[in-house]
Structure 1
């Protein structure tokens, strides 16, 4: 849980706590100037996401001080060695009891080590891999115990022996995954190529488990009636040993590359000592040196202890970041901070803590408490008690006073600004309306004048038939003005309009032509948006054809589509007007043998007419 982050004379730090009993944990270094409370259990990967410049897990200060649990582990190992020597000198049930107790000691040791791993390692992915390694050690010792103390069938004994290679292969293999996971954010995952590492590991394990079929790992004499201990090592065994050592050295090398601690490289070479001892022991074991069996003949226990020693030394050297032994940092923290029990009795404090009565501490349950001298006391609940810290907010209080004065001044001027903004908004709206109306007047001036002329003629017409004809023309012109003005408004908002808008525009004009008595047809072949300028150009072209031939037109068809990636509109009409005068670089007009005109206009791509 991230409790406080601060800066003091270029010494950047972040205090984090992880409560196991009353144990505090810290990480160095970070740089922030504010308080932030996160969820209990925030781990290193979260800090890496917040402060990537620190280098992540490799920044932990190496801890070479001994843990209080180490002497007990040493005593347990000595006791197990003594029991093994006693077992050599007794027989029957006493030997069996000594072996059971010795196995129980090792199983308990590796189980407890796994529990300590879960408490100390804070990066979830690394913690998961290391916990799995401890479980594999427990499995290995358990299988060894079953083989030597409970099984007697030769086939069962042999296959229990083959099962040794499950932990023997996967412990160094998972160590590589531990190394690759160091320093990565919690949400990240390993590269996809790491999945292929399972293939050689699983293949070698399968090679061992099927040894009875091919004897490529352990070769037994051809004339042996029972395959038991009279074997020799085949090529597969050396492949397995090579893969184990390759994984081990690869994991340590990756850890060293990622490490950024300021300590001497000699200290960081400590994890290689148990690895080298493992290599020496393996060579001696393969050659079956006589004195090795009496001193360290239990290969399973020796390998498990050396593997655990390698990983533990990585933790102690800081290659694998742990969450222990940072109590001294709290005392040296320049911020007043303390941990209390549920009754607000102080347990751990920094050197800069200001004594505060327990009654005042309890008030932090509802929020920060303001103290004398510009200090503020804050608190939060944690597992097993409370954490409290003080902050000097005198400068902040002074700033708040200045802000109150500035707020009053701003409130006075804000009303004037709002009125000014409303006036400018209204003026801009009026100006925009004037601009649009001027554009409408300019682009539809011909039709407006024509409509006014038709209106005058309608008022002066005496016959009903002429008035009906004039009214039909006025409807056609009015429909054009309505739709053309609508296109102007839409084009002002967006330069591209839906093809549906084009279809509706022509449909309304054609509908009014039919009311006028013209037989009409309309075919829309576009299925994509059209530039507003092109849409208005096509509509203006159609309107010009209609206005020229309205008196003599009895039928008209309109087709809109594409012609060689260009927009095209074609109007066919039986009017007897001469449309050749419309011909230009974009417009073509021709008359067939029956006197029907076909007038077409093509618009280039790019949104221009």
Structure 2
């Protein structure tokens, strides 16, 4: 016999033994025994039933998963305990007639409350843990409360029970008693109707008689009890116990057939599951294990209670707390490990590709830099070729010139050299930047003027300060200045230059005293008098940027 079945048989035998012992305490002839012994048997009988239903309540708490269902089942169990306790007080104490009748009326508190709880129970069993009963389900308590109030006040109207005076425990049923019984029957039928509607699973439908049979037997018993059948009175005369046992049997049948979710059946579940699962207690002792689950060392089980444990290269052990212990499951991470290996390989391959791409980019960057340098060198060579040729010619003349001409020739070479240096600088800046400081133009003009002064030319200048000039405009301005200077070179006596940023353009003014004709070098030059030339020119550009000069 399987362990679970053996445990069920043992529990069933224990319950049957308690019920049989309590039943014998009632039906065995005790008239010849001392009164104290008879009272002890009655108290023992009550204690057995109280212990039985209290233990069943503890079992319900441990086995029921759904918190709302657990609460409703425990309320049913509490009403049963209340019913047995009231019955014990009624029959074990010598109470006055008024108290005796009131204790009898209190029977109807569980009789009217348990059916309502059963209806609410079947409404809740297949719902989520956050489910709350609807308004009409909560309103079921209203008829029960009204009927209970009518029962408790029966001494005033006697429409539930018609009492004989003086009170001798004999009575007749009134018309309100029919309402009480009818409401109980309606709630029971409503509960089973809801169960039948919800149980679409054929397997559960086949097992539905398990909770229904005790209710049918209870209905038959109630009818026979109401007709005061002597045999029923003799052997099953304790209506309270019969009602409680049949109700508990019906609810237990609902748990056994799966209508009510219970925290049992782990052995069967683990037997058919394909997962590697174990149930262990808090000390690491294995309660049950699935067929696919391998046994694990207790130390690893205890470590897994606090976090994930790696059993081997391809298996992880994880856990989750359950009541009384932990559920452990083994996760196969072979696919994850393979994916990680592939990721490592891809990462290595990508790193190699990135290295090659970086090297290719670096080579390409250097090639592009060389190309740009060559382009700039070609540009400078084209732009400065006239000055280079003329400088070469001057140096050639310098070698054969008399001493008195050499100083003048060196001055002209210095002027051309200054332009080669500063003009090339401005051209480079114009290729790389949109704007340049106005100081760059001033430095260029100052160096050219210094070279002219070495050649004996009187010079003066005025250059705008504190702005960033368009680079192309600055380079063009200096180039125009050099054209005029080279046109008068060798015959230049005096020079005044002014470069001012105004009206969104760079304005150039030159005043030159020379005996040369500047029209050939600069067509825009105007001769104001013999030997006196003036040039007004401008170079367009965007708005200057503020900055240092």
TM-score (norm 2): 0.59
Identify the match of residue 132 of structure 1 among 75, 96, 107: 75
Determine the C-alpha separation between the residues in 2 that align with 1:401 and 1:172.
63
Distance 2:139 2:305 in 1: 53
Q: CA deviation at 1:112?
A: 1.0
Distance 1:361 1:283 in 2: 58
User: Is the contact made by 1:158 and 1:228 (CA closer than 8 Å) also made in structure 2?
Assistant: no
User: Is the aligned partner of 1:112 residue 2:55?
Assistant: yes
Residue 28 of structure 2 aligns to a residue whose secondary structure is helix
Q: Does structure 2 conserve the Cα–Cα contact (< 8 Å) formed by 1:87 and 1:94?
A: no
How far apart are residue 155 of structure 1 and its match?
0.5
How far 1:337 sits from its partner (Å)? Answer: 2.9
The 1:90/1:320 distance shift into structure 2, 3 A limit, reads farther
Query: In structure 2, do the counterparts of structure 1 residues 349 and 245 end up closer, same or farther at CA, with 3 Å as the change threshold?
Result: same
C-alpha separation in 2, matches of 1:365 and 1:108? 36
CA distance in 2, matches of 1:359, 1:289: 66
TM alignment of 1:44-83, pairs within 5 A: 66-83=8-25
Measure, in 2, the Cα distance between the counterparts of 1:152 and 1:345.
Answer: 55
Which residue matches 1:84?
26
2:210 match: secondary structure: coil
**1:400 and 2:340 correspond:** yes
Deviations 1:365-424 (A, max 9, x none): 6754445462333356666665543222111112123334555777888x99xxxxxxxx
Pair 1:241 & 2:184 matched: no
Indicate how the Cα distance of structure 1 residues 355 and 131 shifts in structure 2: closer, same or farther if over 3 A, else same: closer
Listed one character per residue, the Cα deviations across residues 463-483 of structure 1 (whole Å, up to 9, x for unaligned) are xxxxxxxxxxxxxxxxxxxxx
> Would you identify which runs of 4 or more consecutive aligned residues in structure 1 move more than 6 Å?
408-413
Does structure 2 conserve the Cα–Cα contact (< 8 Å) formed by 1:64 and 1:316? Answer: no
Matched pairs, number: 353
Residue among 89, 107, 113 paired with 1:146: 89
> 2:280–2:287: 8 Å Cα contact kept in structure 1?
yes
2:118 — aligned with what?
175
Q: What is the CA–CA distance in structure 2 between the aligned matches of 1:361 and 1:275, rounded to whole Å?
A: 46
TM-aligned CA distance change 1:356 to 1:114, over 3 Å: closer
Q: How far apart are residue 330 of structure 1 and its match?
A: 2.0
Relative to structure 1, the CA distance from residue 87 to residue 145 in structure 2 (aligned partners, 3 Å threshold; closer, same or farther) is farther
Higher alpha-carbon deviation: 328-337 or 141-150: 328-337
Conserved 8 A contact 2:204-2:258: no
Separation in 2 of the partners of 1:383 and 1:269?
Answer: 31
* 1:2-28 Cα distance to aligned partner (Å, 9 max, x none): xxxxxxxxxxxxxxxxxxxxx99xxxx
Deviation of 1:64 (Å): 13
> In the alignment, which of 196, 221, 224 is matched to residue 281 of structure 1?
221
Q: By how many angstroms is 1:138 displaced?
A: 0.8
Relative distance call for 1:383 and 1:228 in structure 2 (3 A) is same
Is the contact between residue 204 and residue 259 of structure 2 (CA under 8 Å) also seen in structure 1? no
Matched, 1:102 2:45: yes
Give the 3 Å change call, closer, same or farther, for CA 195–386 of structure 1 in structure 2: closer
| Aligned-residue offset at 1:210 | 0.6
| 2:256 corresponding residue in structure 1 | 316
Of residues 208, 232, 238, the one that matches 1:298 is 238
Q: Residues 147 and 161 of structure 1 are in contact (CA less than 8 Å); yes or no, is this contact kept in structure 2?
A: yes
Residue 216 (structure 1) aligned with residue 159 (structure 2)? yes
Q: How does 1:101-500 map to 2 (within 5 A)?
A: 101-221=44-164, 224=165, 226-263=166-203, 265-340=205-280, 344=284, 346-358=286-298, 361=301, 364=304, 367-372=307-312, 374-379=314-319, 387-406=327-346
1:333-389 CA distance string (max 9 Å, x none): 333333445564544322223355555556646754445462333356666665543
Question: Aligned-pair distance for 1:205?
Answer: 0.2
**Equivalent residue number for residue 446 of structure 2:** none
Contact 2:305 2:326 (C-alpha < 8 Å) held by counterparts: no
Q: CA deviation at 1:218?
A: 0.2
CA deviations on 1:218-275 (whole Å, 9 max, x unpaired) are 0124xx2x23422100111111011111111211221222224442734312322221
Residue 263 of structure 1: SS of its match in structure 2? helix
**Local SS of the residue matching 1:348:** strand
Q: 1:379 to 1:273 in 2, by over 3 A?
A: closer
Q: CA deviation at 1:197?
A: 1.1
| Structure 1 SS opposite 2:316 | strand
Unaligned runs of 5+ in 1: 1-22, 25-62, 417-609
Question: Separation in 1 of the partners of 2:126 and 2:68?
Answer: 11
Contact 1:87 1:98 in 2 (8 A): no
- Based on CA coordinates, which of the two structures has the bigger radius of gyration? 2
Q: For 1:77 and 1:275, locate their aligned partners in 2 and report how far apart those are by CA, in whole Å.
A: 19
